[in-house]
Amino acid sequence: MSEETSKFNVVLIKSGRDKVEMVKVVMALTGWGLKQSKDLVDRPPGIVLKRVSQEKADSAKSQLEGAGATVEIRAVG
């Protein structure tokens, strides 16, 4: 196993105030439908993206934080 972790999960810790914008961002990032995206936004914490590159994780975190969310990037083995 490599010492450098190459895959990350993007975890929504807390939703922002603008739930509509949050749902739009989650839908855009994941390709999920309205119900699944709204369920995650309404009941954090939850994983938005699984096993993605550092670049994609950073981009997703930036977009989610732009909508007011609290987000963590967690390395996965």
Indicate if the pLDDT at residue 60 is higher than 50: yes
Task: Name the more confident of 22 and 16.
Answer: 22
Q: What is the CATH number of the domain that holds 61?
A: 3.30.1390.10
Our count of domains for the chain comes to 1
pTM of the model: 0.90
Task: Name the more confident of 74 and 3.
Answer: 74
What is the structure's pLDDT at 4?
61
Indicate if the pLDDT at residue 54 is higher than 60: yes
Assigned domain for 68 exists: yes
Containing structural domain, residue 17: 7-76
Indicate if the pLDDT at residue 44 is higher than 60: yes
Nearest Cα to 47, choosing from 30, 25, 66? 30
Task: Name the more confident of 1 and 31.
Answer: 31
Q: Contacts by 25-28 with C-beta closer than 8 Å and gap 24+? A: 25/63, 25/64, 25/66, 25/67, 25/69, 26/64, 28/63
Assigned domain for 2 exists: no
Distance CA(40)–CA(14), nearest Å, equals 10
